[in-house]
Amino acid sequence: MAVASGCALSLGTPYVPLYELPGALRDGDTSLAGIVVAELRVPRLVLALVAGACLGAAGLVLQEALRNALAIPEMLGVSSGAALGVAAPLVLAVSIPAVVQPLLAIGGAVLGGGLTLLAAGLGRSPSAVLLTGAAVAAALQAALLVLMVMADQLDLQLIYRYLLGSLSARTWDDVTGLWPWLLVAAPALVLCAPVLSVLRLGDEDAEALGVRAQRARFAALAIAIVLIAPVTAVCGPVAWVGFLAPHLARRLNPAADAVRWLPWSAAWGAVVVAVADVPARLALAPVETPVGAWTALLGVPAGVALLRSGSRRPAALRRAAGSGAVRFEPPDPEIRGHGHRQEPGGATGAGEAR
């Protein structure tokens, strides 16, 4: 995160060396470097960190609630619904104040998530929710493509942002608009994390422990919507952050639970977006590319590698058990009837379990 932040503040036109950054950030610095760093690069970096943290935490909430490592906002209709809720009034020439845009994004996210749960049977099956969400997300993205046909050239640039996600031309006003929603989502996340650990046991076990699985799953989706929708209203759906960040958090501590994974997932989400925004801004300069395209380029190969490396561990344990590396001794020497034979003098016969 420190390396990505230094590159984000220093590189570009004009180039500002690291040792000059404190002077450029001082109040009253009216030079070109001071204005560019303080008014353009710093808010863009803060937005990248906040957006990545929200998406990383939301991805973990969805994956734990649905007990599926592939449950991400992009595959549940939440991100696509939020993007459609913001883009539709812009293309249809409906005058909407900037303050209302997060509300439109939340309405679209609720629409996408609600359609997913209703079509999947009100969330009774996590697998059904995931598969149905992919179909709902595809339908909402098709609606965005229809809006592209109706839009003029200026509106097309806005729709591209809500298709791929972009941090271009973001200011302090966009950053400050996220804080009220974060103040609502942060306490809800703290209360939700222990319940996610119970949901991971399965619906029947969760019900036995006093957790109503269906209501808890709805609550988890609502928290994810509050995290995702305001970010999408500002910079569009930044893809695959909600997939990659939770897997990186689990890789650090595989034996932990959702309570410990949550802060690490938010931190890794912030790192992923901050790192991806550097090539998005500089790779094809002076033309900027969408940061969502770079998070997808980074996230998909890295996520596949993490999934493959994670699947090797159970297979290695099974091979070790089959080769006799793991030895199991019966707890009672008087056990008989299952191939175990007690020899005179206490020696174990050929039926010893290995």
Q: Which residues contact 351 (CB under 8 A, 6 or more apart)?
A: 338, 339, 340, 341
pLDDT digits (tens, 9 = 90+) for 243-284: 999 999 998 888 888 899 999 999 999 999 999 999 999 988
Judge contact between 239 and 299, C-beta under 8 A.
yes
Residue that wins the pLDDT comparison between 238 and 156? 238
Other CB atoms within 10 A of residue 138 CB: 12
Tokens of 254: 């595989």
CB 152 within 8 A of CB 91: no
Provide the angle, in degrees to the nearest 10, between the axes of the packed helices 126-150 and 78-91: 20
Tell which residue, 181, 177, 191, has the closest CA to residue 61: 191
29-49 b/e (C-beta count within 10 Å ≥ 16 → b) = eeeebbebbbeebbbbbbbbb
Q: Answer yes or no: is pLDDT of 331 > 60.
A: no
Give residues with Cβ within 8 angstroms of 49, minimum separation 6.
1, 270, 273, 274
Nearest to 119 by CA among 111, 65, 105: 111
Q: What is the pLDDT of residues 6-25, one digit of tens each?
A: 999 999 988 999 888 888 88
pLDDT tens, 150-174? 877 767 777 777 778 889 888 888 8
Pick the residue with more confidence: 330 or 309? 309
Does the pTM of the predicted model rise above 0.85? no
Nearest to 300 by CA among 242, 231, 216: 242
How many Å apart are CA 179 and CA 108, to the nearest integer? 20
Pick the range with the lowest mean pLDDT from 40-49, 144-153, 255-264: 144-153
Residue-level pLDDT at 225: 86
How open is the CA angle 307-312-315, to the nearest 5 degrees? Answer: 135
Cα–Cα dist 189/167, whole Å: 25
pLDDT of residue 55: 94
The pLDDT assigned to 314 comes to 52
Angle CA 70–74–77, to nearest 5: 110
